[in-house]
Amino acid sequence: MSNRKAYLTIDGDDTPLELNILESTLGQDVIDVSPLLAKNYFTYDPGYGTTAASESDITYIDGAKGILLHRGYPIEQLAEHSDYLETCYLLLNGELPNAGEKAEFEEIIRMHTMVNRSIESFFHGFRYDAHPMAMLCGVVGALSSFYHDSMDINDPQHRMITAHRLIAKMPTLAAMCHKHFVGQPYMYPDNSLSYSENFLHMMFGTPCDRNKPINPVLAKAMDLIFLLHADHEQNASTSTVRLAGSSGANPFSCISAGIAALWGPAHGGANQAVLEMLKEIGDVKRIDEFVKRAKDKDDPFRLMGFGHRVYKNFDPRAKVMKQTCDEVLGVLGLENDPLLKIAKRLEEIALEDEYFVEKKLYPNVDFYSGIIMKAIGIPSEMFTVIFATGRTVGWISQWNEMLSKPYRIGRPRQLYRGHTAREYPAK
């Protein structure tokens, strides 16, 4: 806390209210408004757009400058030099692992990739056409009925065991959601494979070709998608996890709550919306028509995957993803796929057209990740499930950080506009 103060004057009160200013390591300093309660006032901030509800050391974003840091490391450097599991270790523990720590962490994750066979019974209860996100919400919450040995949220070791289990089992559960959705038998993990290779093996493998090698370019792309979605500060789903966790709820139910929040099209559903938009356009010849509509403020059509609510300049994750997108399309020979041709043409327009450049509507991470997953053969219904798989480490790291410090149960206030007290009408 600095010695700086803010003073708030309220009409009718001769004494200004003194508010402490809390200093951030990076970014905006924060005015502590808690003394307002003594004056019987709350602040009004719809969407919490200017409210810091938590203190965190994990992730920092400067949207105006296009900066994303995990524990101080720029996302571009992690994407170039690290991999998903090493980034998981960093988010959970605060520092990058040395070689021995990394090997030990990878082995721990491998040990926890299997799920109890009873989990299959949960999947059997879902309709054949159940949305994968609906299944993931339910099954992750149900994990709390299996692991009573590590449910003491006040025990740091129990919290870390739970974190390891969730990171390890999410690809297995995500692949099971896919297999149920397409009506194929489940594939068990092959722990001789890397994290992302194992995921692709469980997604696309069959008992007949379980030894079929995984294309290293596709595995690298999948790993990058997980890494670039690992954490994104105090967004809607992360705040949901923290809010649920503040009640003392078990971690599996907290992560399930985060998955539910992520499902919304304004949050994690964005890359699925990209594919749906490409299908709506349908043909390269119709691109100019839809670009014209996108520029018309009175037309409800919007180009999905361009610009970002947080990043007002460019999405630093998109720069990394663009190169990988080109590599995937090249290795798969899909440059002439109709939908992907539309996507590449839209990318060219967004990077060159004066309207898009002026408004900084650059392709974002959802645009490129959607194209990559479409190219790999992942159905759009699975896109948000994969987002949730990568984001799990961020959620559980934020949850663990909250519980490792003094915290209060979340209790947002309201500006009440309803009726004053009134009598029930006589009959």
Place 1 in a pLDDT band, splitting at 50, 70 and 90: low
Q: Where are the alpha helices (DSSP H) in 333-418?
A: 338-352, 354-358, 365-376, 383-403
**Residue among 279, 260, 278 at smallest CA distance from 269:** 260
pLDDT for res 362:
83
Token pair listed for 15 = 């004494």
**Residue among 270, 393, 316 at smallest CA distance from 62:** 316
255: Cα within 13 Å, side-chain hemisphere: 31
Average pLDDT of the residues in 23-39: 91
276 C-beta neighbours (distance < 10 Å), count: 13
Mean pLDDT of the chain, nearest integer: 91
Nearest-angstrom CA–CA distance, 351 and 362 = 6
pLDDT per position as a tens digit, 190-218: 999 999 999 999 999 876 666 678 899 99
Average pLDDT of the residues in 141-158: 93
Nearest-angstrom CA–CA distance, 386 and 391 = 9
pTM summary value: 0.92
Element (H, E) at 223: helix 216-228
Nearest-angstrom CA–CA distance, 284 and 275 = 14
**Residue among 198, 197, 180, 196 at smallest CA distance from 188:** 198
The neighbouring-strand residues paired with 74 are: 69
pLDDT per position as a tens digit, 40-55: 888 999 888 888 989 9
CA 92 to chain centroid, in Å, comes to 16
Nearest-angstrom CA–CA distance, 197 and 187 = 13
Token pair listed for 407 = 């915290």
Out of 20-34, 87-101, 232-246, 299-313, which region has the weakest mean confidence (pLDDT)?
299-313
CA 283 to chain centroid, in Å, comes to 31
Angle between helices 195-204 and 156-182 (to 10 degrees): 30
185-220 b/e (C-beta count within 10 Å ≥ 16 → b): ebbbbbbebbbbbbbbbbbbbeeeeeeeebeeebbb
pLDDT for res 246:
97
Residues labelled as active-site residues: 267, 308, 366
Nearest-angstrom CA–CA distance, 410 and 198 = 38
Nearest-angstrom CA–CA distance, 176 and 119 = 10
pLDDT per position as a tens digit, 293-340: 988 889 988 888 887 778 877 788 888 888 898 899 889 988 778 888
Element (H, E) at 61: strand 59-62
pLDDT for res 2:
66
pLDDT per position as a tens digit, 214-266: 899 999 999 999 999 999 999 999 999 999 999 999 999 999 999 999 998 87
User: 3-class SS at 240?
Assistant: helix
Q: How far is CA 289 from CA 96, 236, 282, in A?
A: 49, 34, 11
Q: Would you state the torsion angle of the CA atoms of residues 146, 150, 151, 157, taken in this order, to the nearest 10 degrees?
A: -150
Domains, the chain, ordered by start: 5-52 (2.20.28.60), 75-265 (1.10.580.10), 270-376 (1.10.230.10)
Determine contact, residues 287/342, Cβ cutoff 8 Å: yes
pLDDT for res 188:
92
pLDDT for res 213:
83
% of the chain residues with pLDDT over 90: 63
User: 3-class SS at 69?
Assistant: strand
pLDDT for res 322:
87
Average pLDDT of the residues in 334-354: 84
Q: How far is CA 123 from CA 48, 132, 250, in A?
A: 37, 10, 22
Average pLDDT of the residues in 377-390: 94
